[in-house]
Amino acid sequence: GIQVEQSPPDLILQEGANSTLRCNFSDSVNNLQWFHQNPWGQLINLFYIPSGTKQNGRLSATTVATERYSLLYISSSQTTDSGVYFCAVGLPFNAGKSTFGDGTTLTVKP
Amino acid sequence: NAGVTQTPKFRVLKTGQSMTLLCAQDMNHEYMYWYRQDPGMGLRLIHYSVGEGTTAKGEVPDGYNVSRLKKQNFLLGLESAAPSQTSVYFCASSSGRYNQPQHFGDGTRLSIL
């Protein structure tokens, strides 16, 4: 099956710093989502981005499908950004199933 | 607009007991999924359904059964719970149309003693 690798596994930042999270995948995909799992365990959908670039406030994401990677940018980080960030990808003609990476754990210190 | 609702939110079972987790979606989605999340890992697919009356195995199906008798509901059953099934269970749904995201419930935290 498809392999999804996220890096770095852990990231510690001071409040106000910027960061880039990476998601590499081993096959061509037709869907890709970024999630934030908050301290209560809820999965918050950040972006649906199988290709191209999207921005939402301090967060933006870019997927280069031909090179099989996606990047999540967090600018001016806040303590509420802490949590685990997951990338999930789906293959074409695969019933919409998603394969998740193991996540990046982000800690933002005040 | 409730989206995807999972019941219950928490449950503690003894080894060998059975239970059913309920997932309900109000978005008229065709596709529904059950995932489990173990500590330090991403979600893994247990079973999924591409429409009412259909089910299929995912990556980690052993020890679980599912049913999709109504389009809006997807049930996950544990016939004889084992400690290895202690996990957080997430349900998701999608429209099934091209280029549409999955929508997730808030999870069910299940502990088996």
Estimate to the nearest angstrom the gap between the alpha carbon of B69 and the chain centroid.
14
Is pLDDT of B97 > 90?
no
Estimate to the nearest angstrom the gap between the alpha carbon of A48 and the chain centroid.
10
Of A41, A96, A103, the CB nearest to B102: A96
Cα–Cα distance between A102 and A7 in angstroms, integer? Answer: 9
pLDDT per position as a tens digit, B1-48? 679 999 999 999 999 999 999 999 999 999 999 999 998 889 999 999
Cα–Cα distance between B35 and A32 in angstroms, integer? Answer: 17
Query: Strand pairing of A10-14 and A104-109?
Result: parallel
Of A31, A95, A101, the CB nearest to B42: A101
Cα–Cα distance between A52 and A57 in angstroms, integer? Answer: 17
In CATH, the number for domain A4-109 is 2.60.40.10
- How many helices (H) and strands (E) in chain B? 0, 11
Is the residue at B112 inside a domain? Answer: no
Chain B contacts of A89, Cβ < 8 Å? none
**Of A59, A39, A34, nearest to A107 (Cα)?**
A39
Cα–Cα distance between A39 and B99 in angstroms, integer? Answer: 29
Nearest residue on chain B to A30, alpha-carbon basis: B99
- A42 touching B, CB under 8 A? yes
Q: Given this model, what pLDDT does residue B66 score?
A: 97
Cα–Cα distance between B102 and A93 in angstroms, integer? Answer: 15
Is the residue at B59 inside a domain? Answer: yes
Contacts of A94 (CB under 8 A, 6+ apart): none
- A97 touching B, CB under 8 A? yes
Q: Is A62 within 8 Å of A70 (Cβ atoms)?
A: yes
Question: Is B41's CB within 8 Å of A102's CB?
Answer: yes
We report the CATH number of the domain holding residue B55 as 2.60.40.10
Domain containing residue B25: 4-96
Q: Which residue type sits at B41?
A: M
**Hey, of B37, B54, B88, which one would you mutate to test binding to chain A, going by the most A CBs within 10 A of its CB?**
B37
Give the number of other Cβ atoms within 10 Å of residue B109's Cβ.
Answer: 16
Using CB atoms within 10 A of its CB, is residue A32 exposed (0-12), middle (13-18) or buried (19+)?
Answer: buried
If one counts the domains in chain B, the total is 1
pLDDT per position as a tens digit, B44-83? 999 999 999 999 999 999 999 999 999 999 999 999 999 9
Q: Given this model, what pLDDT does residue A16 score?
A: 97
3-state helix, strand, coil in chain A (%, to 5): 5, 55, 40
pLDDT digit string (tens) for chain A, length 110 residues: 899 999 999 999 999 999 999 999 999 998 999 999 998 899 999 999 999 999 999 999 999 999 999 999 999 999 999 999 999 999 888 888 899 999 999 999 99
Is the residue at B45 inside a domain? Answer: yes
- A100 touching B, CB under 8 A? yes
Q: Given this model, what pLDDT does residue B1 score?
A: 60
Cα–Cα distance between A28 and B36 in angstroms, integer? Answer: 24
Question: Is B109's CB within 8 Å of A98's CB?
Answer: no
Q: How many residues does chain B have?
A: 113
How many Cα neighbours within 13 Å face the side chain of B55? Answer: 18
Is the residue at B9 inside a domain? Answer: yes
